[in-house]
């Protein structure tokens, strides 16, 4: 049973994240989509709300998903607990490589776990949660970037 963990802040989940999660689900029998508290970030949506949205948007997508959260502690400890063989991350540009590579290396150094990088579909290459939040906060239309549930959540 090949198990992978796809971690992130998902503040909020975007069509780019959904694309990576569904593609990962073709490579792994089970994909844990893990909503992680990132101490370096000040999230707009609560951890519980983010988990609720991830569950809602993946409910009708093909793949065997487990959606959960990590409020504290190391990602690699979660991976050990669920017997994951790999981490999955999406890569849009070289900026993502610069950000993700040291995390992949430290996670491998800590526990031996490998990280699989999936190249973002160019259709989603410029979508980021931070841009989505900025456009939404300035009254722009974000419906091309995130599912309807997320559009609604960001209105409140
Ligand atoms: O979506 P993000 O915010 O870029 O995701 C980063 C995240 C949450 C995956 C990363 O910060 C993380 O793994 N946090 C968990 C704490 C941890 O294990 N840190 C050490 C290895 S990076």
Q: State residue 78's pLDDT score.
A: 98
Indicate if 23 belongs to the active site: no
How many CA atoms lie within 13 Å of 18's alpha carbon, on the beta-carbon side? 21
Taking residues 125-149, what's their average pLDDT?
97
Indicate if 111 belongs to the active site: no
Residue whose Cα lies nearest atom 22 of ligand 1: it is 103
Pocket test for ligand 1, best of 6, 9, 89 (most atoms within 8 A of CB): 9
Q: State residue 108's pLDDT score.
A: 98
- Look at residue 118 and give its three-state secondary structure: strand
Domains of the chain, start order: 3-155 (3.40.50.620)
Taking residues 77-94, what's their average pLDDT?
98
Q: Which residue has the tokens 């669920």?
A: 82
User: Do 118 and 92 touch, CB atoms closer than 8 A?
Assistant: no
The tens digit of pLDDT for each residue in 14-69 reads: 999 999 999 999 999 999 999 999 888 899 999 999 999 999 999 999 999 999 99
d(CA 19, CA 27): 13
Indicate if 129 belongs to the active site: yes
Give yes or no for residue 107 CB within 6 A of ligand 1: yes
Instruction: State the distance from the centre of ligand 1 to the C-alpha of 38, rounded, in angstroms.
Output: 6
Let me know how long the chain is: 156
């Amino acid at each position: 049973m090949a198990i992978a963990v796809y971690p992130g802040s998902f503040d909020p989940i975007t069509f780019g994240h959904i694309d990576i999660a569904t593609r990962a689900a073709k490579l792994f029998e089970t994909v844990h989509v893990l909503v992680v508290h990132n101490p370096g970030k000040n999230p707009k949506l609560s951890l519980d709300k983010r988990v609720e949205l991830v569950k809602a948007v993946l409910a009708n997508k093909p793949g065997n998903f487990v959606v959960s959260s990590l409020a504290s502690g190391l990602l690699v400890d979660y991976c050990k607990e669920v017997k994951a063989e790999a981490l999955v991350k999406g890569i849009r540009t070289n900026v993502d490589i610069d950000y993700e590579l040291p995390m992949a290396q430290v996670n491998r150094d800590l526990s031996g776990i490998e990280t699989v990088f999936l190249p973002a579909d160019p259709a989603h290459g410029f979508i980021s949660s931070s841009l989505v939040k900025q456009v939404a906060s300035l009254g722009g239309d974000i419906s091309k970037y995130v599912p309807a549930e997320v559009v609604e959540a960001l209105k409140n």
